[in-house]
Amino acid sequence: MNVPSLTPDEQAIIDAIAMREASMMARVKAWSEVNSGSHNRAGLDQQRALLVKAFSDLGGDLQETALSPVSEVTSDGQQSTREFAPALLLRQRPDAPIQVVLTGHYDTVFGEAHAFQHWQMLDDDTINGPGTADMKGGLLVMLEALRALEQSPHKDNLGYTVLISPDEEIGSPASAPVLAKYGAMADLGMTYEPALADGSLSGARKGSGNFALIIRGKAAHAGREHHLGRNALVAAASAVQALAGLTGQREALTINPAKIEGGGPSNIVPDLAIIRFNVRLGLPEDAQWVMGEFERITKDIDALDGITAELTGGFTRPPKPMAPPNARLFEMTRAAGAALGLEIRWRDTGGVCEGNNLWAAGCPNVDTLGVRGGNIHSAQEFAILSSLVERARLSTVLLLKFASGEFDAKSLKTLTS
């Protein structure tokens, strides 16, 4: 794709973003100090209030959207209903001929009791702090790009939906239907997960699923009546081995048994074990095969004397391939970068994000438009502060070119996969 030229109006809009750099830096520091772990409702509410204040500057219809409760397996093996904080939804010009959905999340992986709570500067341009890259910095990039779009003489050609969710870091169980709804309505999607430190974006992504295998046995005294007991942990150990053994039986397929819950005092035969595990797969058709294997393993455990087994969970995010619509959008992103003197590269990844959900809804998307950073999901998480302006400019060029028609947003969904 040829490198687009920037009109004087576009150049002025892009240049003006730098004037807000100090404000962006101050905001990412302040937002990082708010613990908004996925299970910390008070912190999520506090962070969402900050987002409402920031995004209200754009105008449009800004709402807090309630999410439906989701069933989950508790540590005692029962099904429980979990409530979620609202998502933030902003709709601007919903009747415009071009529609873009921009998504992000305001939760982090760091719980209320986690030691990683504050930011610090590692050098003049590198900040270490919870959520600075994933993805409070990304939300600021989104905000400033949309602020810039509102200065365009072509803005009326482009409408957008902003969806900021509270549950992405735990697989988007509650926000998935909302992502699907607005993804299906849009010509393309832009998601603000962090780019890699060198600026590379994620290309094809694996699919993902989360499961729990509930195994029940029979409690008994471990000494006097051991023979009357049926050990759920022993059965779980067998199941874990069988599950782990599926890894590699399909290309790019991995099974990660992540946690076993159950048991208690050493003088009691344990009557409950819960195996929680994650699945990653490269091809959509592998989901049916691996589900068949999970069901086989469950039946094998369930057939043991005095043992019952129940499989729960499912696939939450299907694979996102580098299909022609996504490849075309990446070429547009590369061209937008070239107009700014940036070399945009990408690489495939086993990670998943809201981009998987959007693609499942038929929405081509690029999903790492946030800040440059790294070491996410760890206390070493960092973001490159200068990339706040850099990446806001990149998204701005994309939005301006979609609005002017120089980048044909409508053509993306006409490409076949």
Please answer whether residues 333 and 368 qualify as being in contact, where contact means their C-beta atoms are separated by less than 8 angstroms.
Answer: no
For 122-181, the pLDDT digits (tens) are 999 999 999 999 999 999 999 999 999 999 999 999 999 999 999 999 999 999 999 999
- Left (φ > 0), alpha (ψ -120 to 50) or beta: where does 132 sit? alpha
Handedness of CA 90, 93, 97, 98 (dihedral sign): negative
Q: Give the confidence band of 251 by pLDDT, cuts at 50, 70, 90.
A: very high
Q: What's this model's pTM, rounded to 2 decimal places?
A: 0.94
Read off the tokens for 107: 């939760």
Tens digit of each residue's pLDDT (9 = 90 or more) over 219-233: 999 999 999 999 999
Asked if residue 400 has pLDDT above 80, the reply is: yes
State the chain's mean pLDDT as an integer.
96
Question: Would you say residue 417 has pLDDT above 60?
Answer: no
Where are any strands of DSSP class E within 263-411?
Answer: 272-281, 308-317, 346-349, 365-366, 373-374, 382-384
For the chain, domains (ranges, CATH) are 8-205+320-414 (3.40.630.10), 207-317 (3.30.70.360)
Query: pLDDT band at residue 302, thresholds of 50, 70 and 90?
Result: very high
- Asked whether 377 and 115 are in contact (CB, 8 A), the reply is no
311-to-250, 291, 293 alpha-carbon distances in Å: 21, 10, 11
Residue 416: which pLDDT band, with cuts at 50, 70 and 90?
Answer: low
Q: What is the pLDDT of residue 182?
A: 98
Tell me what pLDDT residue 194 has. 97
Buried b (16+ CB within 10 A) or exposed e, 370-394: bbbbbebeeeebbbbbebbbbbbbb
The answer to whether 326 touches 417, Cβ cutoff 8 Å, is no
Collapsing DSSP to helix, strand or coil, 157 comes out as: helix
| 347-371 pLDDT tens trace | 998 889 999 999 999 999 999 999 9
DSSP assignment, residue 282?
S
Per-residue pLDDT tens over the stretch 36-46: 999 999 999 99
pLDDT given at position 159: 98
Tell me what percent of the residues of the chain surpass a pLDDT of 90: 94
Instruction: Provide, for the chain, the percentages of residues in helix, strand and coil under a 3-state DSSP scheme, each rounded to the nearest 5.
Output: 35, 25, 35
In this prediction, residues 244-273 reach a mean pLDDT of 96
